[in-house]
Amino acid sequence: MSAARNFLLGTVVLFSVIGGISYIKKKKIRVEPPMIAQNPIVEIALTPPPAPVKPPEAKPKAAPLPQPVAVTEDIPEVNRISQLFTLDSSKLPIVETVSYTSRVPWLKDRPAWIADYASHYETSRHFIARSLNKKADYLTQKISPGDRFNVFKRDKNISFHLLIDLTRCCLWLYAIDSDANERYLLKTYHVGVGRSDPTKTSGFLTPTGKYQLGEKVAIYKPGTQGYFQDQKTEMIRVFGTRWIPFDKEVEGCTEPSKGFGLHGAPWVQDNSGQLVEDKSKIGKYDSDGCIRLASEDIEEIFAIVITKPTIVELVKDFRQAKLPGVER
């Protein structure tokens, strides 16, 4: 009995040991992490993050066009033009009054006409017409014996000086009496000048410096054809009613004189198809470099200066000007 008991007890112990070993192996397998779980972690770590998307850059806004400096109290605003044409004692000392007669000492073989008086006194027919008509009528040139009108004095060395302030879009017309070393400020005008251009020395398409005006002047009427930029065009649409060119450089000029000048505001068609002057171009930086004036202003200057030496001085500030003579 003892042998059978011992065999049974050994069998129980043997199976207990085998069961314990089996249990321990199962526990080890459960605590080990599965190999497949490591791969996704490695793949995620090696994938670079997507590059950030930059918002589109905003286009830079165009710089606003400069505006003329407001005319202040220190800017000379003058109008003495009437003193060139009046026949009374208030007229300026650079003009004199004459009476028309067809018999004159400088012509022996024929009667004298307005053109002859204009040539003799170096005064334009337009100037004489305005004096005769007592208003800004430069084309009506009817005259009768005894009619009185003004001309420039022959015994005076007279010239003109146009001062243009590009910043303020202003022009001042001076008469110069070189013999007396005197100057007379005749009138202030408002003008249009060239567009702003930082690549130019002057800062504008209009140059700075002193230029002499030329003699190849022109009068334009509706229908007058010509060439501008190699294209045939109606000239009044570009130059208004008058054109006075720069002729040559005198001092401190930032550009050659060719192509520059003074002229009227361009004419455009209105809603009814009629040609009218575009005065919105005055007082602005809008031209290709020339000086623009209203028709009544360019016609007035034209009548006064075209028979005399005339200098145009263009500056950024009128205080920089070097004017001849003593102010009167």
Cβ–Cβ under 8 Å, residues 78 and 122: no
How confident is the model at residue 230, as a pLDDT?
85
pLDDT tier for residue 33 given thresholds of 50, 70 and 90: very low
Residue 99 has pLDDT above 90, yes or no: yes
Q: How far is CA 196 from the centre of its chain?
A: 5
Residues 52-74 have pLDDT tens digits of 555 555 544 444 445 555 555 57
State the average pLDDT for the chain: 86
Q: Residue 14 above 60 pLDDT?
A: no
pLDDT band at 318 (very low <50, low <70, confident <90, very high): very high
Average pLDDT, integer, range 194-204? 96
Token code pair at residue 205 = 């398409």
Q: Give burial (CB, 10 Å; 0-12/13-18/19+) of 190.
A: middle
Which pLDDT belongs to residue 20?
A: 53
pLDDT at 73: 52
pLDDT category at 19 given cuts 50, 70, 90 is low
More confident position, 302 or 320: 302
Query: Which tens digit of pLDDT belongs to each residue from 242-299?
Result: 999 999 999 999 999 999 999 999 999 999 989 999 999 999 999 999 999 999 999 9
* pLDDT (0 to 100) of residue 228: 87
* Per-position b or e across 78-94, b if 16+ CB within 10 A of its CB: eeebebbbbeeeebbeb
Which is nearest to 301 in space by CA: 259, 242, 261?
A: 242
Domain ranges of the chain: 77-156, 192-308
Tokens encoding 253: 């000029």
Task: Tell me whether residue 220 is exposed, middle or buried, using C-beta atoms within 10 angstroms of its C-beta: 0 to 12, 13 to 18, 19 or more.
Answer: buried
Cβ pair 77, 71 in contact under 8 A: yes
Which residue matches tokens 């054109």? 243
Tokens of 22: 């089996």
Instruction: Give me the percent of the chain exceeding a pLDDT of 70.
Output: 78
pLDDT at res. 76: 83
The predicted structure's pLDDT at residue 138: 97
What's residue 229's pLDDT?
84
Instruction: Please state the pTM of the whole predicted model.
Output: 0.79
In the chain, which ranges are E strands? 95-99, 148-152, 158-165, 170-177, 182-190, 193-194, 209-213, 218-219, 225-228, 231-234, 242-251, 261-264, 267-269, 275-277, 285-287, 291-293, 310-315, 326-327
> Confidence band (pLDDT; 50, 70, 90) for 6?
low
Look up residue 264 and give its amino acid.
G
Q: Name the residue type at position 249.
A: E
The percentage of residues in the chain with a pLDDT greater than 90, rounded to a whole number, is: 74
User: What is the enclosing helix (H) or strand (E) of 303?
Assistant: helix 295-305
The two tokens of residue 213 are: 């005006």
DSSP 36: G
Q: Is the pLDDT of residue 137 over 60?
A: yes
Helix (H) or strand (E) holding 299: helix 295-305
